[in-house]
Chains A and B, each alone.
Chain A
Amino acid sequence: MKPLVLTLRGEPEQRLDLSPLLPQRLKGLTPAAVEAIPLQTTRQPITVGDAFRLRPGDVETIRIVGGSERLDRVGEGLDSGAIEVEGDVGQRAGRGLSGGRLTIHGDAGPCAGSGMSGGMIEIRGAAGPFLAGPLPGEMAGMRGGTIIVRGDAGERAADRLRRGTIVIEGRAGAYAGSRMIAGTLILCGPAGALPGYLMKRGTIILGRDCEALAPTFVDSGIHDLVALRLLARSVAALSSRAEATLRRPLQRLAGDTSVLGKGELFCRSR
């Protein structure tokens, strides 16, 4: 069955809140009812029909053609089905995702995958800062699911990550995995300064060098661990680069000892 297609008419004049455009919310709605859904974030009203040209289809898969960094909260709260964006998106894409799949062919803004608990997000371009992180006032970031970023990621990716797996194939900004509580962060490319800053638990894999490593990470030796083999197998279908990164003995650094110190950072022998 053909997907529901929303084609952007042009660059929006204001930031749009696309969180109502979810399969579970559009189920049973007529095309006219979908077009009437308000998306504005200012006092100027704007509906789906104003911003997008709609081609009706199966709402289990929603395709958004034409991106803009003003398209905020795409796929927020998605629990099943699929959303595909052929272009860029703004902030909070896939926030609170608990199931289904969100694919962004362009770049994503800040806080993509924030607080997600399941499902899958693929960002084919670059991700903004605080990928999967919490919003101000929240105790934890991502709590489950998988995120893959094919391009670069901004600062503090995986901040306060609690559970789930994040793979960044490009360059990761400074403080990747900051304040991690648990979970797994795989960085295939180079990383900015101080990965794992104040991490309590969890696992960070550094495929390449980082700009600076905190002295509060302590050497635990070079190991070929079974757990990394399991991880390599689980990400093989997702990212061959991540798999290759894990398929060799890595040096284990324990930290961040300035806090609990039960986290681990694996890297090539230093």
Chain B
Amino acid sequence: MRSVTVNGVRVDDTFAEAFGMRATALVITADSARWAKQAAMSMTGFATSVIGCGCEAGIDRVLPASETPDGRPGIRVLLFAVSTGELQKQVQRRVAQCVLTCAGTACYAGFESAEPLKLGDGLRYFGDGWQIVKQIGGKRYWRVPVMDGEFVCEATTGLTKEAVGGGNLLILGASPKKTLAAAEAAVAAIAAVDNAIMPFPGGIVRSGSKVGSKYKAVMASTNDAYCPTLRGITQSALEPGVASVLEIVIDGLTADAVREAMRAGLAAIVALGTEGAMRVSAGNYGGKLGPHHFRLKELLR
């Protein structure tokens, strides 16, 4: 594969192939930043891949009290799913189990849209008839009595059909330590980009997958071409010297958000130079499945 070398890091002339998704954003607030983060972490915890979790979710950014609807510290989270129905189900379940239950929290729409998703409109029944709907400043909020006071939840949240999931960077390194250092640098850079998340643990995935398996019931299986321990006995994409591969998967509310996140991540990896990655690549399916292609070469400009 053709490539270009920048600061000692080889960047493949390839592209990440991404797909259209449905997404929403929520703002979670609490009496302290700690508890807002706790709720956000719980809610987005088991949401790494739509394959097994129903949705992909993560923290977009930390909001200061001055930027939240109720003037308390907050966190903005993004959720992505393959269909509106699944997204609605996941929002409902995760807010009910992880935000409603978390001490002192409130939950608001992260953005508005013409076609909304239910938020408080679905959770209100927990109030068992004691819930109160309040129209404040043109928005509807549900107040559900709970044991520490009230859980306030906006009635609906926005839905976008312009979201993009599956932006990615494959980081290949000479040792697990160096590869992780490059991946961590990329995660830190991407975290500063708004409207994009990295749904895997710490933003990094070490078990990249391919579609299908030798086992009929398994939809996805290990990406053997990028497993260093299989080099030599499988059709490997790894050259000698590569001892570890980590992937960063990016979902964004728009294609531009994914592009900017990938650009930031790639720049951070290249800036780290030979202290980190040997090579950077990206995952695709030949370009025939996903409508969004993000070429690494273009992102270097």
Residues of A within 8 A of B (CB): 144, 163-165, 182-184, 201, 203, 223, 225-227, 229-231, 233-234, 262, 264
Shortest distance in angstroms between A55's beta carbon and chain B's nearest beta carbon?
35
**Within 8 Å CB of A225, what residues of B?**
143, 149-150, 152
Shortest distance in angstroms between A188's beta carbon and chain B's nearest beta carbon?
17
> Could you say which of B134-142, B221-229, B253-261 contacts chain A?
B134-142
**Within 8 Å CB of A223, what residues of B?**
149-150
Q: How many A-B residue pairs have CB under 8 A?
A: 52
Shortest distance in angstroms between A247's beta carbon and chain B's nearest beta carbon?
10
Cβ–Cβ contact A230 & B150, under 8 A: no
**Within 8 Å CB of B149, what residues of A?**
223, 225-226
Q: Mark B28-53, 1 if CB is under 8 A from A, else 0.
A: 01000000000000000000000000
What is the size, in residues, of chain B's interface with A at 8 Å between Cβ atoms?
A: 18
Q: Mark B46-77, 1 if CB is under 8 A from A, else 0.
A: 00000000000000000000000111100000
Interface of chain B, main secondary structure: strand
Residues of B within 8 A of A (CB): 29, 69-72, 106, 130, 132-137, 141, 143, 149-150, 152
**Within 8 Å CB of A264, what residues of B?**
132
Cβ–Cβ contact B134 & A184, under 8 A: yes
**Within 8 Å CB of A201, what residues of B?**
132
Among A163, A226, A233, A262, the residue within 8 A (CB) of B135 is: A163
Among B72, B130, B134, the residue within 8 A (CB) of A227 is: B134
**Within 8 Å CB of A164, what residues of B?**
135
Closest to B138 in A: A234
Cβ–Cβ contact A234 & B137, under 8 A: yes
Cβ–Cβ contact A262 & B70, under 8 A: no
Closest to A233 in B: B71
Among A144, A183, A203, A227, the residue within 8 A (CB) of B150 is: A227
Cβ–Cβ contact B136 & A262, under 8 A: no
CA A233 – CA B132 in complex, angstroms? 19
**Within 8 Å CB of B137, what residues of A?**
230, 233-234
Closest to B154 in A: A230
A-B contact pairs, 27 of them (CB 8 A): A165-B135, A184-B134, A201-B132, A203-B134, A223-B149, A225-B150, A225-B152, A226-B70, A226-B106, A226-B150, A227-B136, A227-B143, A227-B150, A227-B152, A229-B70, A230-B69, A230-B70, A230-B134, A230-B136, A230-B137, A231-B134, A231-B136, A233-B69, A233-B70, A233-B137, A262-B132, A264-B132
**Within 8 Å CB of B141, what residues of A?**
227, 230
Cβ–Cβ contact B134 & A229, under 8 A: no
CA A117 – CA B137 in complex, angstroms? 14
Q: A227-B136, A233-B69 are in contact. List 11 more A-B contacts (CB 8 A).
A: A226-B29, A226-B152, A227-B134, A227-B152, A229-B70, A229-B71, A229-B72, A230-B152, A233-B71, A234-B137, A262-B130
**Within 8 Å CB of A230, what residues of B?**
69-70, 134, 136-137, 141, 152
**Within 8 Å CB of B132, what residues of A?**
201, 203, 262, 264
CA A182 – CA B135 in complex, angstroms? 10
CA A230 – CA B70 in complex, angstroms? 5
**Within 8 Å CB of B29, what residues of A?**
226
CA A231 – CA B70 in complex, angstroms? 9
**Within 8 Å CB of B150, what residues of A?**
223, 225-227
CA A234 – CA B152 in complex, angstroms? 15
CA A242 – CA B39 in complex, angstroms? 32
**Within 8 Å CB of A203, what residues of B?**
132, 134
Shortest distance in angstroms between A250's beta carbon and chain B's nearest beta carbon?
13
CA A225 – CA B106 in complex, angstroms? 11
Closest to A118 in B: B138
Closest to A232 in B: B71
CA A182 – CA B140 in complex, angstroms? 13
Shortest distance in angstroms between A177's beta carbon and chain B's nearest beta carbon?
15
CA A223 – CA B71 in complex, angstroms? 17
**Within 8 Å CB of B106, what residues of A?**
226
